[in-house]
């Protein structure tokens, strides 16, 4: 998608380095950062220079290719794979991508390893782009249906950033929105700010602005009253891990939005590529929920009058704070799962029908 009119993907390999858009600097500064080693990739995932489940997966894949480039000894590659998987716990795409890379590299001659690793990392990213595009084509039908009934702007609420910046391109939750906009359907997006890291305000609103899609940032607690007032036609969110029974783990606050949507008969859709499905864990209680540094809550960042990024404390100095990064929305509150293969019911049967293999 576009930044200042120029097309970008979120990650690419060029001149022996991996290039990313440093998302900790957005929306105030646009900085392309180079990752030269697997340690750089691990750090980028940990400090959230890259974030969003599919992009974390893509970065882990390229991170492993960087490991091979540094040292193609199998012990080093195995250790790097383990460290990459541990860099963030909740998004299943991370382990999925590393496992896929390891499987591909197993049995390959050492003089071929780097080529194979780079090709597979690119393949993982290309596939994600294609899947996200298909999610858009499938989700477009839901937006079109609402528009055909309403004959007026479709108001869509989203939480966090499940946009193209969270994937390789298109996004998951935003892909149907981009497709609708390209088709001329008037859409307006309610963007949850998404405390504490403000991915909605800093990233979703930013990328929608760049594509000239009308959007309004709201405080995280505003969605409920908007739904009561009939000002939300549908919600679409992304997910970091969806269980085979349709339970959806996503950015903290998603569950409360789903409850409000359920109470107000607002359709609540979750958009995801199949790489975000966890076919192993059966009980949502077993999903590892990331707890991040409480400084993300107690401090906020912005630019001052000299355009310099500044961080300030907003809490009482003696207060404790707790920063759980994700929650789980039970399948019963989810209207449908928008995937690359079509839209399924959020249930074992629904997912089985789409993903028989
Ligand atoms: O902590 P983040 O910013 O990595 O969390 C991102 C989300 O929760 C997204 O909704 C999810 O990864 C889906 S991205 C297409």
Task: Give the pLDDT confidence of 107-136 residue by residue, as tens digits.
Answer: 999 999 999 999 999 999 999 999 999 999
According to DSSP, the residues that pair with 154 across neighbouring strands are 187
The CATH code of domain 137-354 reads 3.40.50.10470
Q: What is the mean pLDDT of residues 155-172?
A: 98
Look up the pTM and report it: 0.98
Q: What is the mean pLDDT of residues 236-250?
A: 98
Place of tokens 């499987």: 103
240 is known as an active-site residue: yes
Q: Which atom of ligand 1 is nearest to the CA of 51?
A: 4
For the chain, domain boundaries: 2-127, 137-354
CATH topology of domain 2-127: 1.20.120
Q: Given the residues 40, 240, 247, 278, select the one marked as catalytic.
A: 240
pLDDT for 142 equals 98
Nearest-CA residue for atom 6 of ligand 1: 52
For residue 207, pLDDT beyond 90:
yes
For residue 289, pLDDT beyond 90:
yes
For residue 357, pLDDT beyond 70:
no
For residue 356, pLDDT beyond 90:
no
Nearest-CA residue for atom 8 of ligand 1: 251
CA of 314 to the centre of ligand 1 (A): 25
What is the percent of the chain with per-residue pLDDT over 90, rounded to a whole number?
99
Distances (CA, A) of 187 to 174, 234, 285: 11, 11, 36
According to DSSP, the residues that pair with 338 across neighbouring strands are 271, 343
Mean pLDDT of all residues belonging to the chain = 98
Q: Which residues contact 284 (CB under 8 A, 6 or more apart)?
A: 243, 247, 249, 328, 330
Residues with CB under 6 A from ligand 1: 51-54, 91, 160, 162, 166-167, 172, 199, 238-240, 250-251, 325
Place of tokens 């799962």: 337
pLDDT for 46 equals 98
- Cα 301 from chain centroid (whole Å): 21
Crossing angle of helices 53-70 and 92-105, in 10° steps, is 30
For residue 50, pLDDT beyond 80:
yes
Q: Do domains 2-127 and 137-354 have the same CATH topology?
A: no
Token pair for 184? 């001329």
Q: Compute the distance between CA of residue 91 and CA of residue 288 in angstroms, rounded to an integer.
A: 9
């Amino acid at each position: 998608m576009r930044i200042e009119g120029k097309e970008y993907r979120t990650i690419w390999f060029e001149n022996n380095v991996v290039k990313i858009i440093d998302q900790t600097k957005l929306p105030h500064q646009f900085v392309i950062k180079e990752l030269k080693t697997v340690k750089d990739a691990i750090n980028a995932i940990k400090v959230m220079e890259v974030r969003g489940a599919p992009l974390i997966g893509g970065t882990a894949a390229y991170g492993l290719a960087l490991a091979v480039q540094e040292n193609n000894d199998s012990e080093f590659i195995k250790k790097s794979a383990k460290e990459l998987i541990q860099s963030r716990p909740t998004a299943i795409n991370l382990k999925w991508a590393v496992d896929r890379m390891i499987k591909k590299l197993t049995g390959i001659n050492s003089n071929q390893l780097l080529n194979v690793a780079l090709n597979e990392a690119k393949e993982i990213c290309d596939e994600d782009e294609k899947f996200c595009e298909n999610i858009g084509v499938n989700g477009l039908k839901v937006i079109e249906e609402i528009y055909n009934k309403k004959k007026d702007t479709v108001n869509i609420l989203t939480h966090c950033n499940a946009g193209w910046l969270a994937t390789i391109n298109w996004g998951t939750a935003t892909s149907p929105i981009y497709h609708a906009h390209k088709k001329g359907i008037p859409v307006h997006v309610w963007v949850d700010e998404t405390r504490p890291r403000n991915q909605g305000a800093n990233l979703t609103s930013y990328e929608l602005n760049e594509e000239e899609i009308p959007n309004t940032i709201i405080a995280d607690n505003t969605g409920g009253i908007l739904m009561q007032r009939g000002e939300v036609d549908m919600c679409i969110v992304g997910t970091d891990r969806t269980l085979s029974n349709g339970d959806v783990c996503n950015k903290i606050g998603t569950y409360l939005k789903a409850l409000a949507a359920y109470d107000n008969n607002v359709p609540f859709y979750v958009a995801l590529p199949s790489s975000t499905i966890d076919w192993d864990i059966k009980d949502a209680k077993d999903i590892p929920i990331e707890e991040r540094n409480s400084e993300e809550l107690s401090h906020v960042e912005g630019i001052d009058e000299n355009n310099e990024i500044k961080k300030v404390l907003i809490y009482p100095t003696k207060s404790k704070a707790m920063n759980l990064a994700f929650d789980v929305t039970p399948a019963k509150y989810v209207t449908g799962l928008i995937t690359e293969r079509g839209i399924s019911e959020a249930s074992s049967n629904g997912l089985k029908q789409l993903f028989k293999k």
